Amino acid sequence: MEVLYSSTRNGERKVTASRAILQGLSEDGGLFVPDHIPALDCTMKELAGKTYQEIAYQVMKLYLTDFTEEELKNCINRAYDSKFDTEVIAPIVEAEGTYYLELFHGATIAFKDMALSILPHLMITSAKKNHVKNDIVILTATSGDTGKAALAGFAGVEGTKIIVFYPKNGVSPIQEKQMVTQKGDNTFVVGIHGNFDDAQTGVKMLFNDRELAEEMAATGLQFSSANSINIGRLVPQIVYYVYSYAKLLEEEKITDGEKINVVVPTGNFGNILAAYYAKNMGVPIEKLICASNENKVLFDFFETGKYDRNREFILTSSPSMDILISSNLERLIYRIAGDDAGKNAELMAALTRNGSYEITEEMKAKLGDFYGNYASEKETSERIKDMYEDTGYILDTHTAVASAVYKKYVADTGDKTKTVIASTASPFKFTRSVMNAIDPKYDQMSDFELVDELSKIGNVEIPNAIEEIRTAPILHDNVCDKTEMKAVVKRFLGIYT
């Protein structure tokens, strides 16, 4: 059955999957959502034993219905190949009786690789399907991981350019080095004076700038997005949760039909939304546990039904979650509003106008799948130390937030359902925070001395993504104010008016 996509703010106009991927964001500022969530057309038992690539096809064919089998399999096989350092793509590691789904074995050692390895292929295929002659300009804001993963995915891809904005003082040293050493004539990286929300808001404004769109079209260019607002980012993430259930079933860790819980460290809400879609497709998931850091806007939302970004922005040791405007939450709001685009648009207008909105009691009653909590910086650090001392397994800061919140969930509910925790980044990406948590004595070391020591104490090989930036030259030293983003984009694209 064909799946079409419409905007969360206007349900009338429907487009194909390939059009939605190309556009990224709807003209009205809304996000593209499927007109229905398709049910899996094979059983979990049938999926058990299949490779990551095979399961990816079984999931993605249901959403990307205007792609042929050959097109989609070509995208999948080109994405999930030797750029991942493990053949299984996403290993599951058991620690303290919980299953950690390691999503960080790609080119930039963060979970964003899982979707951003395939997005360039989906986008180029979409452009061909829709006879697009323009070059595609990928415009993205990053809180640390999306940026490098998108740069790695699109670098050198013919017919594309990529511009990444990041908060200059809001990412880890390793994250920044990964971005500013990126090669490729079609890549452009800019630090802004501001936080991630400033970068994300600026990018959305550029997407909605009709005058700029006309100027770009006149020079053969058009914008698209690699952020998780793009449905081409969200659909590949659904695969994680179908795959993890099938893998646990294959390894006889669970029985067929047995429910599992899923814990996701959450900032922009895309990854946990993908788990929600997987549940609605028929994967036996019980609770979706939304883990926040001290920027606990989502925890407060699940507690009260009020989304309020009017608060202090806190820089934490888990910077990819330092977000106060969780863009993908809009897709959930649309769904719990009964797919009412008008109601959703009203709430999003209130967020823009007042920095907050409140859902109805009826909508709040539809959030029963979710549990929200948060971990403080101290709790995150203690979780890294305790896990290492108890098992030798080293968590990155984001996964530690999820692990700490999971312990709170068990304490609150007594629920002992088997649980998968999305492990979203390698500890090598946040070496200083991770090593300081294990022992403050490590703070005297340089960033790359810490890399070597982490490898030694964790008995894990240093990822190629880290080795290659050790001596790499800085290729991008662009910094601007958040008010200058449009001028910077036009300069890079050679648009002078």
Rounded distance between C-alpha atoms, residue 460 and residue 462, angstroms: 6
Q: How many residues does the chain have?
A: 497
Q: Are strands 285-292 and 260-265 parallel, antiparallel or unpaired?
A: parallel
Rounded distance between C-alpha atoms, residue 169 and residue 214, angstroms: 33
Q: Is 102 helix (H, G, I), strand (E, B) or coil?
A: strand
Whether 50 is catalytic is no
Rounded distance between C-alpha atoms, residue 204 and residue 24, angstroms: 11
Rounded distance between C-alpha atoms, residue 386 and residue 380, angstroms: 10
Q: Which residues pair with 478 in a beta bridge?
A: 190
Contact (Cβ atoms closer than 8 angstroms) between residue 331 and residue 273: yes
389-395-396 Cα angle (round to 5): 140
Rounded distance between C-alpha atoms, residue 381 and residue 376, angstroms: 9
Rounded distance between C-alpha atoms, residue 361 and residue 223, angstroms: 38
Q: Which residues pair with 136 in a beta bridge?
A: 160, 222
Q: Is 265 helix (H, G, I), strand (E, B) or coil?
A: strand
* Of 14, 61, 112, 456, catalytic: 112
* Residue entry with tokens 């919140």: 405
Per-residue burial over 318-345, b if 16 or more Cβ lie within 10 Å, else e, is bbbbbbbbbbbbbbbbbbbbeebbebbb
**From residue 292, how far is each of 61, 199, 241, 326, 332 by CA, in Å?**
32, 20, 20, 11, 17
Catalytic positions, written as ranges: 112
